[in-house]
Amino acid sequence: MLTGFLFCAIFIIISGYTVVIYNIRYEGILKAVDDKLFTAALCAKSVLPKGYHNKITDENSVSREDYLEIVKTFNKLCTDIDLQYIWSVMVINNQIIFTSATSPDKKAENGKQAAFFEVHSNPEAYRTAFETMNVRHSSFMDKWGHGRMVLIPFSDIKGRPYLFGASMQVSEVDRLLKKTVETSLYLFVFAVIPGFVAVFFISEVSSGLIARITVSSKERSEQLVYACNQITSATHSLSENSSEQAASAEELFSFFEDITAMSRRNAENAAGTISIADKSDNLIKKADESLTGLKSYVRDNITAVGATQEIIRTIDKIAFQTNLLALNAAVEAARAGESGAGFAVVADEVRNLAMRAAESARNTADIIENTVTDVQRGTELMKKVGDIFGEMTAHSYRIKELVTKIAVSSEEQAEKLIRANETMTETNRSIQQNAANAEELSSVSQELKSQAEQMETAFNELIKKI
């Protein structure tokens, strides 16, 4: 009777443990699939040309050759990491259209993939992701197949939303679960049912039968040890995979943190550049105003020099007339003879003075003419400098405008990276929890294996006694 109770207790423990193993394994596999899809979707976004979605407005935005290259890249990525599809969709004119896709047969030249700008046949699957702009994991069944998918939302520089998706066939998920189901059933068939048989025969048959049943139970206990080894191996593999995923997620999280910090620094530097551009613009305006004043001053000087030239020409004419008068006076003095000798001396001095005045006037006129020429050249140079300042003002304004756009774009990028960081933090937390569960499951498997080995030892001792 005590033996029957012992086997009933073993049956209850093993059955409960089988259910727990299945549930933990199922949740772990599903979480690992979701994490794999999330990473694949991010990788797909990174392989597209920079600013790919920014330029999409109609069906002619991307050439057929470029689109086929994208499809080929996605086909290879899906083949390498055992995925069903990788794609992206975008909302244009209130319709969800394909912007990239994967071929069902992984051969782009067959043309079975969704065409560029093709309207999606199942838009309802994307409504929630577009409305909330949050990462979404779900299952789907449409003309493209039956699988598990992830949708990651983004926005282009115009604020238009688009999604990157990755999916895995349900059959692939079922394949990963099949091993767990087989192991659990194997444990049930070769451990629990023999336990019932042992309880019945121990209670009802003779000692000879008990000996045979004990031998049979020993064989079943050996099979139980084998099944425990299988479970231990599976849980150890799960634990290693979870640890690797945790390490990868940690690296990706660190990468996102670095990019976020760089975007913030870019925004701060752009803001500082705008301030410097404002100061440069003010200095250029002040220099332009000073140059305008200088132009006015030079024009006034040119006017004054012109007046001075007129005065010099007048002096030159007076000197010329004075020279003629002195010459006439000298002629008249010579006619007068000795009585006009003194007057001739004076006339000669006046004539010399007039000639010197004329010469000085001509020299002054030459100097003034050279000065006017230099001033005119200076005026032309100031005009060129003024034009250059005008161009500098225009370029300064353009630089300020471009830097302002860079600052706005950097700020938007930083905000989006912050949201991506939050998502990665949540994913990292889930992976860490998954790894902890895997470690716990591995520990339980080791304990069950130890108990099974102890049971096998007990049966061996019982066989010896019988």
User: Running DSSP on this structure, what letter comes out for residue 119?
Assistant: B
d(CA 34, CA 355): 110
Give the global pTM: 0.40
pLDDT on residue 58 = 92
Matching residue, tokens 């238009």: 160
Which stretches of the chain drop beneath a pLDDT of 70? Answer: 1-26, 142-145, 170-243, 245-246, 248-253, 255-256, 339-341, 343, 434-435, 437-438, 441-442, 444-445, 448-449, 452, 455-456, 458-459, 462-466
Is 117 strand, coil or helix? coil
Q: Name the token pair of 251.
A: 């690296």
- The predicted-structure confidence for 88-110, as pLDDT tens digits, reads as follows 999 998 899 999 999 999 998 88
- The predicted-structure confidence for 16-59, as pLDDT tens digits, reads as follows 555 555 556 667 777 888 898 999 899 888 889 888 999 999 99
d(CA 49, CA 158): 17
Single out the residue of 438, 383, 313, 372 nearest to residue 24, CA to CA: 438
pLDDT on residue 1 = 47
For 461, other C-beta atoms within 10 Å of its C-beta total: 9
pLDDT on residue 206 = 43
pLDDT on residue 238 = 62
pLDDT on residue 407 = 76
Q: Name the token pair of 116.
A: 């560029």
